[in-house]
A and B are shown apart, each in its own frame.
Chain A
């Protein structure tokens, strides 16, 4: 089955539009609620038949709730591997759901019944580690609205299918680190100045001390690329959803202040060095003939900082956000209409970045 990404409302990337608060520093705010349905083993231990039953029940529930009229259900287990990578690159599905989470590099298939219901700003994964992973995403720092949407989906779905709930422990999940609220709220934040001033180590250690955690661009188990960090709550029990969100938001605001301060210090103490570095990044992106993904991410990080410092004008954060997603390998392969080798992808990537910047640059 081949899949047309244009079927997705907003192409599944409405959150890239840089319309939210502090959007030049915070790329997105995401909320995820983990839920399981009574009467079936959790997805990891479930038999094929159980996972398919779960999918049927979830599909029926979706057809009878009001908030998701714009959504489409995508059977991930019936997609080609390119399409699965595409959905993962769009942050719509996790590596695990897409059957891409292999250590050895060999291809693995998604589990039967793996699916995702995608709408304008939400994606509900079915049969990931938990039966349901309700996720919502918003541009910029906007945990409140992101949670509000997730809560509404959660309440509507939970009124149609019975969720596994324990009177003391709360919502039950496959991994004990998600039990209780099942809530993982995270903020994808760009911290280049803290990295350049080498203060990032202290900031990250501080996060862990106050019970938060950080990950890379693609969440759990992913590396930090392009100075993007995903900051999220670590515990899900013992506090209400509201408390967890407010706490995360207050710490993130503090980190944003630190980043802004570091930017001020950079400009003050190393003005021309920084300016030179950022213009070189921009120059490379404008003229390079081959770019690896990591290179592109690092130079884009520099250009993003330059736009934030108002060194470069006429280039929008929205364009930079789109480059982040669309210069990934599966997206380039999809534009070219065939599977690209790594070397080919590097050449196509450089051309794609050049074209985009030519069209919008100064």
Chain B
């Protein structure tokens, strides 16, 4: 099923919105969800499993044609050849073998020897999510002139920062 917004990528999340008249369901792809501030399971900082699965898939189907699309940003290898720029992080998994070959050619190696990276802790991601939600509610409260609510939200934010 395709995303209700971009109509390009597969749906990963269904959002239920309640407004005055009733309930409405919006089906979003990972990217459109991220754009609306929703971290889907795939977009959270533990992409290792996703990357791993993709790399397994990659080994099964090593040849990626020019027309194959990245499942996240829908870039193709042809796009990359035209712009010289990769579309998103997931392109590196989607076109892994082609990009590995390219890295070996232009960089002389494809193996990172620099600092290892593990990403934020789960607790940190929770705080970050809460902070950004609070900030958004604060902005909305100011825009709609709900100043008492705004003051409360601002105090909560200060507490977290």
Contact = CB atoms under 8 A, between A and B. Distances in A.
B34 A50 contact: yes
A264 to B, nearest CB: 37
A53 B37 contact: yes
Interface residues of B, number: 52
A122 B107 CA distance: 27
A38 B89 contact: yes
Contacts of B112: 166, 168-171, 179-181, 237
Contacts, number: 160
Given A56-B135, A170-B112, A171-B117, A41 B102 contact: no
A313 interface: no
B86 A175 contact: yes
Contact of B111 (A38, A165, A237): A237
B34 to A, nearest CB: 5
B152 interface: no
Nearest to B80: A176
B34 A159 contact: no
Contacts of A57: 128, 132
A160 B124 CA distance: 6
A129 interface: yes
A167 B113 CA distance: 10
B88 interface: yes
A137 B26 CA distance: 47
A181 B112 CA distance: 7
Contact of B103 (A36, A61, A176): A176
Interface string A22-64: 0000000000000010111110110101100100110011011
Contact of B107 (A38, A63, A237): A237
A162 B85 contact: no
B128 A60 contact: yes
Given A56-B135, A238-B108, A38 B92 contact: no
B141 to A, nearest CB: 16
Contact of A129 (B34, B45, B85): B85
A164 B45 CA distance: 8
Query: From DSSP, what is the main secondary structure of chain A's interface residues?
Result: loop
A176 B86 contact: yes
A235 B108 contact: yes
B102 to A, nearest CB: 6
A241 B47 CA distance: 24
A36 B112 CA distance: 16
B117 to A, nearest CB: 5
A174 B135 contact: no
Contacts of A42: 73, 85-89
B106 interface: yes
B107 A240 contact: no
B85 to A, nearest CB: 5
Contact of B73 (A41, A165, A238): A41
A73 B106 CA distance: 35
A162 B120 contact: yes
B113 A238 contact: yes
B102 A167 contact: no
Nearest to A241: B114
A163 B21 CA distance: 41
Contact of B115 (A56, A162, A181): A181
Contacts of A40: 31, 34-35, 88
Given A45-B73, A64-B161, A39 B34 contact: yes
Given A44-B85, A166-B92, A177 B128 contact: no
B106 A177 contact: yes
A270 to B, nearest CB: 42
A235 to B, nearest CB: 5
Contact of A161 (B36, B86, B115, B128): B128
Contacts of A241: 114-115
Interface of A: 36, 38-42, 44-45, 47, 49-50, 53, 56-57, 60-61, 63-64, 129, 151, 158-177, 179-181, 183, 235-241, 243
23 contacts: A40-B31, A41-B88, A42-B85, A45-B75, A53-B34, A129-B85, A160-B124, A163-B117, A165-B117, A165-B119, A166-B51, A170-B112, A170-B114, A171-B117, A174-B86, A176-B99, A180-B107, A181-B115, A236-B107, A237-B107, A238-B110, A239-B114, A240-B113
10 nearest interchain CB pairs?
A170-B112, A238-B109, A162-B45, A164-B89, A39-B43, A181-B114, A49-B35, A237-B107, A41-B88, A41-B73
Given A63-B161, A169-B99, 10 more contacts: A39-B39, A42-B89, A45-B75, A49-B35, A56-B135, A63-B131, A159-B120, A169-B112, A173-B86, A237-B108
